[in-house]
Amino acid sequence: MSSRLVWKAALGFYIALFFGFLFGPLVIMSVTAFNTPSYPQVWPFEGFTLDWFAKLYDDRNLMEGLVNSFIIGAFVVALSVPLGLAGAIVMTQIYSPARSLYYLIVVSPVLTPGVIIGISTVIFWKDVTELSGAQSLFNGVFLATLGQATFISAYCMLIFLSRLQRYDRVQEEAALDLGASRTQVFFDILLPFLRPAIFSAAVIAFLSSFENYNTTTFAILANKTLTTVLAGRVRAGTTPAISAMAVVIIGVTMAAAIAYETVKRAELRREAARARAG
Amino acid sequence: MTHPFTAALIFALPLLVILAFVVMALIEKRRGGNVGAPGFFQRNGTPVAIFLIAATAFWALVLIVFPQLYMVDYSFHPKLPELKRGGPEDHYTLENYRYFLFGSTQNTDHWNTTHLNAFWITIFVSTVITIVNFAICYPLAYFMAQVAKAPTVLKLMVLLVIPYWINEILRAFAFRILLGTGGLLNNVAIALGLIQEPIDFIGHDIALYAGLTYAYLLIMMFPLYNAIESLDHNQIEAARDLGAPWWHIHLFIVMPFAKPGIASGATLVFMLCAGALAAPLVLGGPKTLWFTPIVYDRFFQAFNWPQGAAYAIILLLTCMAFVSLVMRLFKVNLSEITR
């Protein structure tokens, strides 16, 4: 019995240690945002202040980066969700000897370091835009969107694939027997079935785009996003203003993640209820 | 501008492969006699079929295959000013790869020890971090997947999901506050009288390694949890009833079953570590050796794009080698890793 107790204590200690490691650094960073000294300091806590947050408002680069991050995020969602959807449907129908090669190609961006995707995007599109005379397309927002969409589409595809595994073709047959066209089947049966996956894919695509640094830092060229501004600041020096920014970003990310989980759970519950009723 | 012949090859080769598969499919269909079976267009309806083909082709070819092949070609060209590209001086060369090995585009007298050391250290440390992350995550993954009750799992899951989305740069910055010379750890240790002088965690790369371990902890966690979760608990009970010691159960039942999850977590953590840019830039000291910042400098300090492309390809080949090694070692296939 006592050995069981020892195990339990050890387990509790380990879990506490794990989450301490996970949250400790973030908590410490957040505390420094409210402390007065100009070097981020947790302890001793010399005085409570919100000045570091006030500084963020006046930061023009930061705001410009934030706007770009939202624009790129929206473009990436608009591009990656359809591409991932098409990629997943093609996967279920492709001529089987070609399937493994196809899978290797479309999944490779997930296993490729982000810097490499950024580099190849810039090199390729620089010459393409030059040769085709569309030099105005060689800008940071366009390239960052394409670079990020390369691998984010693969995330979306994996989400759609796991949903498609549970797709029942009988519904499709029934609709066709009742005289629906193939196009109607796609829009009225398949897409509604995939709706939760479309939602998940859009959220994941936006979050991945928003927090991406490795690909973006190459593809963004002379423009800036929130993460590239942030990286520049962090490299230039350590000030509590960055901690303040971190607190804002963590707050927003947490709110988004919690909202997403809540909506997803509600959707799952509704679906389970529908399955029971049907 | 690359050589017209190579350019043609880059664009034509993937198209030829696709054409070959299409022809094979048609021949097989004819031979199988099931000419009446619905083709791709009949099955999806023409508008949808066009969307599917156009979108997939754009993604697979224009976004993935063409840029990668183009980068390979680019890395075999010398660095030239814009006007001379495509001219007589623009010939195929190995000089960018020679520079990586010997630190010179011309002679091969000395090894390029700085870059080679950084390369080996990156691989070695990334491997160690992968193993350490597995060791840290395994007990919690097992506890959540097999031992804990549903409400506990839900609570722990929420605690894990929240930090998952926090930016890499901010994680690195948090470690800088924690481990800098004026950081919390040094201040506390000095106040307690444990040390007299602050320890330079950043200069000794301890901060970098700790930060990398921290940044990719959850990348290991989720695949591991998913894999262990699908194991039937009766198998563990049966082994226990038959008198298997606890480490036997883990080593010979749980871990072999969770192989795809382990492989998946390991490849992703290794790839992210070896390709990490934010952590080395933020947590690296002046003498830090890490490969990705060197690639970065090829572009932004040396302004030598072909050389940067060559370095990127070296990194890409390393990651591909690691993925195939893991697949061989764990006897899993690609679709199990990326599930």
Evaluate whether A48 touches B243 at the Cβ level (below 8 Å).
Answer: no
d(CA B212, CA B210): 6
Q: Which residues of A touch B315 (CB under 8 A)?
A: 113, 115-116
Measure Cα distances from A100 to A92, A111, B68, B152 in Å: 12, 16, 19, 40
pLDDT of B36: 55
pLDDT of B66: 94
Cβ pair A25:B167 closer than 8 A:
no
Cβ pair A82:B278 closer than 8 A:
no
Residues 84-123 of B with CB under 8 A from A: none
pLDDT of B91: 82
Residue B35 has pLDDT above 70, yes or no: no
d(CA B159, CA B144): 12
Q: Where are the domains of chain A?
A: 33-277
Residue with tokens 């009288």: B193
Q: Which amino acid is at B190?
A: I
Measure Cα distances from B64 to A60, B60, B61, B68 in Å: 35, 5, 6, 6
Separation of CA B100 from chain center? 21
pLDDT of A1: 53
Please count the residues of chain A: 278
Residue B87 has pLDDT above 90, yes or no: no
pLDDT of B89: 78
Across chain B, the runs of DSSP E, i.e. the strands, are: none
pLDDT digits (tens, 9 = 90+) for B298-334: 888 888 899 999 999 999 999 999 999 999 998 888 8
Separation of CA B176 from chain center? 24
Cβ pair A249:B166 closer than 8 A:
yes
pLDDT of A236: 81
B31-40, B64-73, B196-205, B313-322: least confident range: B31-40
Residue B247 has pLDDT above 80, yes or no: yes
Tell which phi-psi region holds residue B86, choosing left (phi > 0), alpha (psi between -120 and 50) or beta.
left
Closest Cα in chain B to A150? B63
Shortest CA gap B279–chain A (Å)? 10
Shortest CA gap A274–chain B (Å)? 23
Phi, psi of B116 (to 5 degrees): -65, -40
pLDDT of A169: 85
Shortest CA gap B128–chain A (Å)? 18
Whether the link from the prior residue into B306 is cis, omega within 30° of 0, is no
Cβ pair B58:A83 closer than 8 A:
yes
Q: Where are the domains of chain B?
A: 4-102, 113-337
Cβ pair B165:A257 closer than 8 A:
yes
Cβ pair A231:B40 closer than 8 A:
no
Q: Which residues of A touch B160 (CB under 8 A)?
A: 22
pLDDT of B339: 66
Region B151-172: mean pLDDT is: 85
Q: A2-32 and B168-179 are packed helices; what angle lies between their axes, rounded to 10 degrees? A: 100
Closest Cα in chain B to A13? B140
Region B222-233: mean pLDDT is: 92
Residues 140-179 of B with CB under 8 A from A: 140, 143, 156, 158-178
pLDDT of B49: 92
Q: Which residues of B117-129 are buried (b: 16+ CB within 10 A; e: fewer)?
A: ebbeebbebbbeb
pLDDT of A190: 92
Q: A2-32 and A240-277 are packed helices; what angle lies between their axes, rounded to 10 degrees? A: 130
Q: Which residues of B touch A206 (CB under 8 A)?
A: none
Q: Which residues of B touch A41 (CB under 8 A)?
A: 182, 184, 187
Q: Identify the CA nearest to A112 among candidates B316, B217, B73, B335.
A: B316
Residue B33 has pLDDT above 70, yes or no: no
Indicate which of A4, A6, A18 best probes the interface with B, i.e. most B CBs within 10 Å of its own CB. A18
Q: Which of 1.10.357.10, 3.40.50.720, 3.40.50.2300, 1.10.3720.10 would CATH assign to domain B113-337?
A: 1.10.3720.10
Query: Sign of the CA dihedral A121, A122, A123, A127?
Result: positive
- Put simply, whether B23 touches A (Cβ < 8 Å) is no
Residue B85 has pLDDT above 80, yes or no: no
Q: Which two tokens stand for residue A226?
A: 């929130």
Secondary structure (DSSP) of A7-69: HHHHHHHHHHHHHHHHHHHHHHHHHHTTB-SSS---SS---B--HHHHHHHT-HHHHHHHHHH
For A81, residues 6+ apart whose C-beta sits below 8 A from its C-beta are: A156, A198, A201, A202, A205
Closest Cα in chain B to A17? B136
pTM of this prediction? 0.91
Residues 258-287 of B with CB under 8 A from A: 267-268, 271-272, 274-278, 281-282
Residue with tokens 């001529």: A95
Residues facing A35 on adjacent strands:
A48
For B139, counting Cβ atoms within 10 Å of its Cβ (0-12 exposed, 13-18 middle, 19+ buried), the class is middle
3-state secondary structure at position B198? coil
Residue B37 has pLDDT above 70, yes or no: no
| Band of residue B142 on the pLDDT scale cut at 50, 70, 90 | very high
Q: Which residues of A touch B312 (CB under 8 A)?
A: 115-116, 119-120
Cβ pair A120:B178 closer than 8 A:
no
pLDDT of B1: 52
Of A107, A183, A253, which is closest to B165 when you measure between CB atoms?
A253
Region B199-226: mean pLDDT is: 91
Eight-state DSSP code of residue B302: S
d(CA B74, CA B72): 5
- Put simply, whether B325 touches A (Cβ < 8 Å) is no
Q: Identify the CA nearest to A188 among candidates B48, B144, B212.
A: B48
Evaluate whether A152 touches A81 at the Cβ level (below 8 Å).
Answer: no
pLDDT of B43: 83
Evaluate whether B266 touches B326 at the Cβ level (below 8 Å).
Answer: yes
Closest Cα in chain B to A125? B67
Of A82, A121, A218, which is closest to B55 when you measure between CB atoms?
A82
Evaluate whether A229 touches A153 at the Cβ level (below 8 Å).
Answer: no
Q: Is the complex ipTM higher than 0.95?
A: no
Evaluate whether B235 touches B253 at the Cβ level (below 8 Å).
Answer: yes
Phi, psi of A48 (to 5 degrees): -80, 135
d(CA B283, CA B292): 13
Q: Return the CATH number of the domain spanning residue range A33-277.
A: 1.10.3720.10
Cβ pair A15:B140 closer than 8 A:
yes
| H/E run at residue A173 | helix A169-177
| Band of residue B34 on the pLDDT scale cut at 50, 70, 90 | low
| Band of residue B117 on the pLDDT scale cut at 50, 70, 90 | very high
- Put simply, whether B40 touches A (Cβ < 8 Å) is yes
Q: What is the 3-state secondary structure (H, E, C) of A71-123?
A: HHHHHHHHHHHHHHHHHHHHHHHCCHHHHHHHHHHHHHHHHCCHHHHHHHHHH
Question: What is the mean pLDDT of each successive set of 10 residues along chain A, which is 278 residues long?
Answer: 82 92 89 84 80 82 90 97 96 87 93 94 91 87 96 96 89 89 91 92 92 93 90 84 86 82 82 77
